[in-house]
Amino acid sequence: MTFLTLQTAAPGSPGTLLIWYHLRFRVPLPLVVLLALPAWPQQSQPAVPQVQSTVVVVGVPEPVTRGESPRSSVVLDTQQHPLAFETPEDHLRSDPSTFVEQRGAGGAQADISIRGSSFEQTLVLLNGLRIDDPETGHLNLDLPVPLEAMSNIEVLHGAGSTLYGSDALGGVVDFLTAVPTSTSLRLRSGVGSFGENEQSVLAGLARTHWSEQFTATRSFSSGFRPDRDYRNEAVSSETRGHTGLGESDVLLAGSDRAYGADGFYGPFNAWERTKGWFASARQQFGPNTEAAFGYRRHADNFVLLRNDPAFYANNHIDHSWEAVARQRQTIAKAANLFYGLEADGDSIHSNNLGRHARNQEAGYLDLDLHASRRWILSGGLRGELLSGGGGRQVWSPDLACALWLSPSVKVRASAGYGFRLPTYVDLYYSDPSTIGNSHLRPESAWSGDGGADWYPNARLTASLTVFYSRQHDAIDYVRASPAQRWQAANLVGLRFTGVEGSLAWQLTRRQTIRLAWTGMSGAQAALHGLQSEYVFNYPVNSASFEWLGTLKNEYLLRSQVQIAQRYHRDAYPVWNLEAVREHGRIQPYLRIANLSNTGYDEIEGVPMPGRSFVGGIQLVLARR
């Protein structure tokens, strides 16, 4: 069972919690009650695996079960109900601590904010390798791999720079690709509102010592309003093999996205097209040693006025690479030592930003002491030399621990340091509305959290966490009045405090309820009357209510209400509904987005689509 980390300040039973949200946010009660209503009579179904068995990779030096992890994290299983989700952002919205700020349908330019961090303070990984865009964090979710090729999305709440380096101030999101377990072919096609059309091909070949998975997707729409059309294409090929040395993995992927960007960057009917290419190779050398290399090329073609491309245009091409070597060593029965070396670099060639390049070298060390199902203590330190940060050296420590008070109750705490280098846009960009600052200092943050997890049985899990973060030299864009341009600047005195909670409850063998809530408060004492563009865009309340029901072990009905209340803004609910046949050769599906037809925006001034639907059929040909 996929478990979402929720921490709640609302009191009482699940029924009380539903009523509390109805009163607090004025969500129509029928929408909330629907999440808790039984759908069909109980029928036999295999028991759901215990949450403790869910494997976590992000935030720890080696995979552990979620019940043993000392960090606050979420594992989103993208293979569990693949036809019920259109984009990776739809999965991420199930975690209220991960606030997705999207500018339109089809995954067009979505940003991630974890625990109040800015969109550039979240590190994005693909199979553990960095794919953050050095040009701007707005393109961090321009993923080269289709959703259909993924197996899990793992989210770490809190600083992760000790293991992963720059950008991991607020948290880390790791997209993991899937390993085919059978030889199969899946063909999908669907149509929907606003001229939407989608197709995908997923072909897997599984053999005893090797496997191959090929994935290709395509989606396009004429747009729910003028100049909000989009066209997305992505393709990936991943080959895995096992030899005497260990596992080998080669991944090749690419994407091409073009979209109308009306209002994305002010009152302009802009247009943008991005292309990305990614290649990685990973090799094990025995059970304790691993080496990996990743390369990413990304192109961004931007036009400020779509009807007059010559008025203002930007063309950026950036390159980034990373090489890692990791080692595990058992030094005692209950002690493991992990260490590694990393090198990475990036460069950009832009008509607006110019030509720039920088490199980083790092080494890290992590010691894990543990007694299974009793206690865990993990401490690490990373040293990184930043050629792009004035040649300075950064040390990033962290410490995490967990203690089992009983077989069903675990308490945990963690603290760590995160940092981020400015992007090239932060440093050098200039247009009619925004200007960079080449004198920006790298930003950093100390953060910590403490909480408890409760696992009374295989049907019920709950979690509660309190967190705190204090940032130094935070990078934001400020101005004195709307008539002026936004200017990149370092801020001081920025801090966030919050609580997050989750509850996963299997009501019957055929029904599951998942509740999650995150509340935050932030403070910034150094603006001196200036307006801020991003600091105060975080949600003070964010919640997710999900109900899953199945019929005859074959049909899935999923209902989810997401509620967000941004700083000094009214709360708004968004209700999504999906109906899918998940077994058989022919699998029809229907997704209804924003069934409540809520008018809202996740980026101020950029409205999101109203009620829409997509329906289609998937054909499955498989051989065991």
Q: Counting Cβ atoms within 10 Å, is residue 457 exposed (0-12), middle (13-18) or buried (19+)?
A: exposed
| First and final C-alpha spacing in the chain | 24
How far is CA 395 from each of CA 299, 365, 367, 398, rounded to the nearest angstrom?
32, 12, 16, 10
Structure tokens at 205: 């070949």
Sheet holding 486-491, edge to edge: 434-435, 486-491, 474-479, 531-532
Structure tokens at 541: 């309340």
The structure's pTM equals: 0.89
pLDDT at 302: 93
pLDDT at 7: 35
pLDDT at 482: 85
- DSSP string covering 343-358, please? EEEEEEEETTTEEEEE
SS3 194: helix
pLDDT at 45: 34
SS3 43: coil
Alpha carbons 124 and 347: distance in angstroms, whole number: 18
Alpha carbons 162 and 366: distance in angstroms, whole number: 9
**Are the CB atoms for 526 and 492 separated by under 8 Å?**
yes
**Are the CB atoms for 76 and 98 separated by under 8 Å?**
no
**Are the CB atoms for 344 and 164 separated by under 8 Å?**
no
Chain-centre distance for alpha carbon 421:
20
SS3 per residue for 472-490: ECEEEEEECCCCCCEEEEE
Contacts of 266 (CB under 8 A, 6+ apart): 432, 433
pLDDT at 54: 63
pLDDT at 273: 95
Q: Mind listing the pLDDT tens digit for each residue in 437-469?
A: 999 999 999 999 999 999 999 899 999 999 999
**Are the CB atoms for 77 and 2 separated by under 8 Å?**
yes
Structure tokens at 374: 């009793």
**Are the CB atoms for 102 and 603 separated by under 8 Å?**
yes
Contacts of 393 (CB under 8 A, 6+ apart): 383, 384, 385, 386
Contacts of 364 (CB under 8 A, 6+ apart): 162, 163, 339, 340, 342, 380, 381, 382, 383
Alpha carbons 298 and 350: distance in angstroms, whole number: 12
Domain segments of the chain as ranges: 14-623
Closest CA to 7 of 561, 591, 518: 518
Give ∠ CA 362-364-369 in degrees, rounded to 5. Answer: 175
The number of CA neighbours under 13 Å toward the Cβ of 455 is 22
**Are the CB atoms for 470 and 531 separated by under 8 Å?**
no
SS3 178: coil
Alpha carbons 489 and 436: distance in angstroms, whole number: 8
Alpha carbons 123 and 172: distance in angstroms, whole number: 5
Chain-centre distance for alpha carbon 538:
16
**Are the CB atoms for 162 and 381 separated by under 8 Å?**
yes
Residue spans of the chain under pLDDT 50 = 1-52
Chain-centre distance for alpha carbon 370:
29
Closest CA to 360 of 390, 318, 334, 331: 390
Alpha carbons 399 and 376: distance in angstroms, whole number: 11
How far is CA 486 from each of CA 267, 423, 476, rounded to the nearest angstrom?
14, 16, 9
CATH class of 14-623: mainly beta
Closest CA to 20 of 460, 541, 598, 547: 541
Q: Please count the other Cβ atoms lying within 10 Å of the Cβ belonging to residue 370.
A: 18
pLDDT at 532: 85
